[in-house]
Amino acid sequence: MNGSLIIHQPGNSVVTDLGRFRGPRFGLPVNGALDQFSARAANILAANADNAPLLEVTALDFRMRATTDVLIAVTGAPLHLTVGGRECPQWEPVSVRAGETVALRRITGGLRAYVAVHGSVEAPVLLGSCAPDTVVGFGLRLSEGTELKTSRSVGPIRQPYFDLPLFRLGLTRPEFSSRVVVEVTDGPDVDEFGDTADLLYNTEYTVSGRSNHIGLRLGGALPERQSTAEVLSRGVPVGAIEVPSREELLVLHRGRGVTAGYPVLAVVTSRSLDVLAQARPGHTITFRKTTVPEATAQHRAALRELETLRSTVSTVFSLLGIGRQPGWPELVPAAGS
């Protein structure tokens, strides 16, 4: 059954996915959900593919109304979630009845929340991704009245006794704090900073209000490049830490220009990029050095956690008949009972 979600209060929200991985070779940043773990978790909780289009809501309150029964999951920064006025948990699948309003209010502790809808939503695609690109002016930025088409309706799922939450899927939620530790590995140009490179690990940095999806600007003691030779433009990775000015440290995120001519002091690990995605202006950041093998192991541990969640979700959902047929799901007796 097709239906739609009608945006009533867009705040600052877009439809995105995990990113435009084919973009960089054509000069386009990868973009996509800044907090990849939360985005994947939302899609998994809604029984979607990890890379399915979903909503990224940044900082401001957001409201939408469903025209059919849908199943959603909200992850990311802590917030106050209500559906039809009822308070609902984050990081769990949530039933929404036709006509009900979903409201995300008071995003605190972090900066970005993710809303996945079972069956996902329709969005235009460029180079294999729906992720918005502000430079080429591509993507679906939500405004009041935007109608998002959904492809699958899911009947209401309500625990019949005491209206207790039906799902307790037990994902370890990421921690959100105003003081975070960000892990980095040595950048390819660390030697150009000489002894001043150590400042990166001995300084508390403050997130500037001029930060965005392209990069975070951090105030604090700055390592200084010792050489002045002109650097030829070259590809810079997401997570690259540069010192382009005397005022701020620049940490590039997923919207970064693909090439630049600044030396790369250090690179934030994939796992810590999710932490940075949730850092608000005024938050404090300290950096800790790690190694590439350790960073890879950490990233894979997070993916394994998501895999466990996926198999739990798939077991529960198949018992409830979600994803198989539309309409009211019936609890199927377990085999042998």
Partner 1 sequence: MAATPTPTPVEVYESGDAALRVVASSPDTEANWTTVHALAEWLEEAGADGVHGAVPTYDSLLVEFDPGVTSARQVRAFVLMGLRQLDFVGAPSRAPRTFEVPVVYGGEYGPDLERVAAHEQLSIQEVIALHTAKSYVIRCLGAPAGSPMMDGPDFPLPVPRLKDPRLSVPAGAVSVAGRQAVIAPAAAPGGWCVIGQTPLAVLDAASEPLVPYVPGDVVRFHQIQPEEFASFAGLKLEAAR
Question: Alpha-carbon distance 197 to 190, whole Å?
Answer: 7
Which residue stretch of 6-14, 83-91, 264-272, 315-323 sits at the interface with partner 1 (rule: CB under 8 A)? 264-272
At residue 144, φ and ψ (nearest 5 deg) are -60, 125
Q: Quick one: which of 7, 45, 66, 236 contacts partner 1 (CB under 8 A)?
A: 236
Q: Quick one: which of 108, 212, 226, 259 contacts partner 1 (CB under 8 A)?
A: 259
Using the minimum distance from each CB to partner 1, give the nearer residue, 65 or 289.
289
Tell me which residue has tokens 């150009």: 192
Alpha helix stretches (DSSP H) within 84-143 = none
Under the binding rule (CB under 8 A), the answer on residue 117 touching partner 1 is no
Q: Quick one: which of 66, 267, 275, 277 contacts partner 1 (CB under 8 A)?
A: 267
Q: Which of 16, 34, 15 is nearest to 111 (CA)?
A: 34
Supply the DSSP string of 224-246, one letter for each residue: --S--PPPPPEE--TTEEE--SS
Under the binding rule (CB under 8 A), the answer on residue 156 touching partner 1 is no
Using the minimum distance from each CB to partner 1, give the nearer residue, 288 or 300.
300
Are 13 and 58 a contacting pair, CB within 8 Å? yes
Question: Alpha-carbon distance 209 to 89, whole Å?
Answer: 30
Under the binding rule (CB under 8 A), the answer on residue 1 touching partner 1 is no
Are 279 and 216 a contacting pair, CB within 8 Å? yes
Under the binding rule (CB under 8 A), the answer on residue 211 touching partner 1 is no
Element (H, E) at 181: strand 179-186
Q: Per the structure block, which two tokens stand in for 69?
A: 């029964």
Q: Quick one: which of 6, 166, 169, 303 contacts partner 1 (CB under 8 A)?
A: 303
Q: Quick one: which of 14, 16, 17, 24 contacts partner 1 (CB under 8 A)?
A: 24
Q: Quick one: which of 8, 82, 166, 186 contacts partner 1 (CB under 8 A)?
A: 186
User: Which residues bind to partner 1, rule: CB under 8 A?
Assistant: 21-22, 24-30, 126-127, 133, 135-138, 185-188, 230, 232-240, 257-260, 264, 267-270, 292-293, 295-296, 299-300, 303
